[in-house]
Amino acid sequence: MTVRLTVNGVRHEGRCEPRKLLVDFLREDLGLTGTHVGCEHGICGACTILVNGEAARSCIMFAVQADGAALTTVEGLMRDGKLHPLQEAFREHHGLQCGFCTPGMLLTALDFLRTNPAPTEAEIREGVSAVLCRCTGYHGIIKAVEAAAAQLRTP
């Protein structure tokens, strides 16, 4: 089947079987390997991207379902050659070690902050509990999201 979609503002068209997982389409057909595969059953969250602005797990969506959708992946977070404030905060607060969960973590946090721009620490923990990280003990991640929230609130 033909899939036409926009990823990070760029239009793409590809052909694939209906059973092709969206994450595999992104990685294999579009060469966007920033989105990672961690469990293929919707638990670890490493493959989380934005589908029409909302965080979703691309390992439990089919590419054909994204026909006509606008997606954002980790490759599309930078603006004008600069890291997004959330990326910057992850760097500043050691919110990543191996970096494998990081793309999913960033996009989940982004959607979380969109609907909760001034979260408490407990809310941040709940928000990012959608993504499993085995390196950081989540400490740096929570600090980074806290800092990014403050940064993004500043006009």
Partner 1 sequence: MKPPKFDYHAPASVDEALALLGRYGGDAKLLAGGQSLVPLLNFRLSRPAALVDLNRIASLAYVREHDGQVRLGAMTRQRTIEFDPLVARKLPLLREATRWVGHLPIRTRGTIGGSIAHADPSAEYPAVLTALEGQVVARGPKGERVVTAGDLFRTYLTTSLEPDEILVEVRLPAMPPGAGWALEEFARRHGDFAIIGIAAVIVREGSRCTKARLATAGAGPVPLRLRAAEEILERDGLGDAAIEAAARRASELVSPDADIHASAEYRRHLTGVLTKRAIKRALGVARG
Partner 2 sequence: MSEKSWIGKPVRRVEDARLLTGRGTYIDDHPPVANVFHAAIVRSPHAHARILGYDCSAARAVDGVAGVITGADVLKHTKPFSVGVTAPVHYYCAATDKARFVGEPVAVVVARNRYIAEDAADLVQVRYEPLPAVVDPERALEPGAPVLHEAVGSNLANNRRLVYGDPDRAFADADVVLRERFKFPKYGSTPIETYGVIARWDALEGVCTVWSNFMGPFIMHPLTARVLGLPENRLRFIVPPDIGGSFGIKSSIYPYMALIAVAAKLTGVAVKWIEDRREHLLASSTGTDRVAYRELAARKDGTILGMRFRWLDNVGGYIRSPEPGCSFRPTGNFVGPYRFQHLEVDASTVMTNKSLTGPNRGYACGHLYFETEGMLDRLADEIGMDPAEVRRRNLVGPAAMPYRTPSGGLYDSGDYPTAFEKALEMAGYDELRREQARARAAGRYFGIGLAVAVDPSVSNMGYVATALDPQFRAKPEYLPKSGAVDSATVKVDPLGRVIAILGSTPQGQGHQTVVSQIVADELGLIPEDVTVVDEMDTFTRVWSISSGTYSSRFGSVGTSAVALAARKLKTKLVEYAAHLMEMPVAALEFSDGAVRAKAGKAPSYTIKDLAGRAHWNTESLPPGMEPGLQATAVFGFSVAKAVDAEDRVNSSNTYGFIAEVMAVEVDPETAAIRILRYVSVHDAGTIINPMIAEGQIYGGALHGLGGALYEEVQYDADGQCLTGTFMDYLVPTASEAPTIEIGHVVSPSPLTPLGSKGLGESSSMTVPAVIANAVSDALKPLGIRITELPMTPSKLWKLIEQASRSHAVPTARHPRPALP
> In 3-state terms, what secondary structure has residue 20?
coil
Positions that interact with partner 2 (CB under 8 A): 17, 19-20, 27-28, 32-41, 43-44, 46, 73-75, 77-78, 83, 87, 90-92, 94, 96-103, 106, 124-126, 128-130, 132-142
Task: Give residues 71-110 in contact with partner 1 (rule: CB under 8 A).
Answer: 108
- Cα 43 from Cα 41, distance rounded (Å): 6
Of 1, 10, 118, 150, which one interacts with partner 1 (CB under 8 A)?
1
Q: Which does 57 bind (CB under 5 to 8 A by kind): partner 1, partner 2, none?
A: partner 1
Helix axes 85-92, 139-153, angle to 10 degrees: 140
Least distance in angstroms from the C-beta of 87 to partner 2: 4
Of 31, 79, 80, 115, which one interacts with partner 1 (CB under 8 A)?
115
> In 3-state terms, what secondary structure has residue 10?
strand
Task: Give residues 37-56 in contact with partner 1 (rule: CB under 8 A).
Answer: 40-42, 45, 48, 51, 54-56
Which residues is 21 bridged to in the sheet? 62
- State the sign of the Cα–Cα–Cα–Cα dihedral 74, 13, 62, 68: positive
Tell which residue, 57, 55, 40, has the closest CA to residue 86.
55
Tokens of 22: 């969206």
| Site residues (vs partner 1, CB under 8 A) | 1, 17-19, 21, 24, 40-42, 45, 48, 51, 54-57, 59-62, 64-65, 108, 111-112, 115, 125-127, 129-130
